[in-house]
C-alpha cells in the first residue's frame, strides 16, 4: 500500500527525534511535531491515497479467477477487450477495498470472494462510482444462517445497513453464479438492495406484490421458490426484478419493456 510507504519516513523521523530528545536534549522534541502531524494526515487520507495508487497501478486478477470468469460468466465473455480489462481491475479493487469475514470456516475462499466481486461489478459496471462504499463488510457463511434481525429463520443472504454489512451463504451464492437461470441469485439480489441504499435519489420502476405474476412469467421462478431459496418471506420485490433484468434480460425486455428501459437507464447498460 502506498500509504504505508508514505508513513514510514515520518515514523522513522519521529523515532530519531524521540531518541535525540531523550539522550541529547529535550529541545529536539519540538521536531517530533511535524512527524506526528505527517503520520496523522497520511493515516486519515490512506483510503484515498491507496485508491488513487491502485487506479494507476492495478494488480492483476489471480489466474484462478480469470479462468472462472472466462469460462463461467457470460456477462464478462461478451465484453470487449478493453471492457474486460476494466472489469478485472474493478474486481481486484473491490476485493482489496472491502473486508471479507468468514463465519463457520477459517477464511473466505478466493473463488467466493471473486464471485462476490464479479457480481457487484456486473451490477455497477455502467457507473463511474461502482464500489457501493457504504457497505464495506462482507460476511460469508458456508450455509444458511440465523441473525439478530432474523433469529429464527435460517436464510441465505441479508444486509444490515447500520453497520454497512452484507451477508451471504456460499451454499446459495455459488450455484446461482454458475447457473443463474436455474438458481436465484442472492448476490445480485442483495447488491440491488445495496445499490438502492447507496443511491437513494434514484427513482426505480414500481414493483410490488402485484408484480409477482409478471416476474414469475419472466423468470419461471415461482415466488414460493424464491422465498424458500432466500429463506425469508419479506422479499424486496424491486431487487428481485433487478435480478431478472440481468439474468433474464430478453424475456424481461419483451414482457416488461417500460421497466426494462428504466432499469437500463439507471444501470447504464443493456444486458
DSSP labels for 162-222?
A: GGTEEEEEHHHHHHHHHSTTTS--HHHHHHHHHHHHH-TT--PPP--GGGHHHHHHHH---
Encode pLDDT of 171-205 as tens digits: 999 999 999 999 999 999 999 999 999 999 999 99
CA–CA distance, 71 with 74 (Å, rounded to integer): 8
What average pLDDT score do residues 231-259 get?
Answer: 97
Among the listed residues 185, 228, 223, the one whose alpha carbon sits nearest the alpha carbon of residue 74: 185
Residue position matching grid coordinates 491502485 = 54
In this model, does residue 220 exceed pLDDT 90? yes
User: For residues 88 and 65, what is the distance between their CA atoms, to the nearest angstrom?
Assistant: 9
pLDDT tens per residue, range 124-152: 999 987 889 889 999 999 999 999 999 99
**Within its chain, how far is the Cα of 243 from the centroid?**
15
Q: What angle is formed at CA 194 by the lines to CA 228 and CA 131, rounded to 5 degrees?
A: 130
Q: How many other C-beta atoms can be found within 10 angstroms of the C-beta atom of residue 43?
A: 15
DSSP 8-class letter at 156: S
Q: Residue 193: CB partners within 8 Å, gap ≥ 6? A: 159, 236, 239
Amino acid at each position: 500500500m502506498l500509504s504505508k510507504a508514505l508513513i514510514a519516513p515520518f515514523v522513522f523521523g519521529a523515532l530519531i527525534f524521540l531518541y535525540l530528545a531523550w539522550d541529547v536534549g529535550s529541545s529536539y522534541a519540538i521536531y517530533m511535531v511535524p512527524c506526528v502531524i505527517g503520520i496523522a494526515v497520511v493515516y486519515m487520507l490512506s483510503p484515498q491515497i491507496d485508491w488513487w495508487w491502485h487506479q494507476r497501478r492495478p494488480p492483476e486478477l489471480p489466474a484462478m479467477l480469470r479462468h472462472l470468469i472466462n469460462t463461467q460468466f457470460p456477462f464478462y465473455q461478451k465484453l470487449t477487450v478493453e471492457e474486460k480489462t476494466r472489469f478485472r481491475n474493478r474486481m481486484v479493487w473491490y476485493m482489496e477495498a472491502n473486508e471479507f469475514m468468514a463465519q463457520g470456516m477459517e477464511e473466505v475462499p478466493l473463488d467466493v470472494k471473486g464471485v462476490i466481486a464479479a457480481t457487484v461489478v456486473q451490477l455497477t459496471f455502467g457507473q463511474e462510482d461502482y464500489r457501493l462504499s457504504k457497505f464495506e463488510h462482507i460476511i460469508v457463511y458456508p450455509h444458511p444462517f440465523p441473525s439478530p434481525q432474523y433469529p429464527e429463520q435460517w436464510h441465505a443472504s441479508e444486509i444490515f445497513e447500520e453497520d454497512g454489512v452484507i451477508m451471504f451463504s456460499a451454499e446459495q451464492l455459488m450455484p446461482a453464479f454458475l447457473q443463474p437461470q436455474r438458481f436465484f441469485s442472492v448476490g445480485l439480489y442483495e447488491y440491488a438492495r445495496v445499490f438502492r441504499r447507496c443511491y437513494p435519489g434514484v427513482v426505480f420502476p414500481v414493483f410490488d406484490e402485484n408484480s409477482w405474476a409478471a416476474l414469475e412469467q419472466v423468470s419461471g421462478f415461482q415466488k414460493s421458490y424464491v422465498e424458500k431459496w432466500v429463506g425469508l418471506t419479506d422479499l424486496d420485490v424491486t431487487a428481485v426484478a433487478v435480478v431478472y433484468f440481468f439474468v433474464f434480460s430478453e424475456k424481461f425486455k419483451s414482457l416488461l419493456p417500460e421497466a426494462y428501459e428504466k432499469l437500463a437507464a439507471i444501470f447504464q447498460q443493456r444486458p
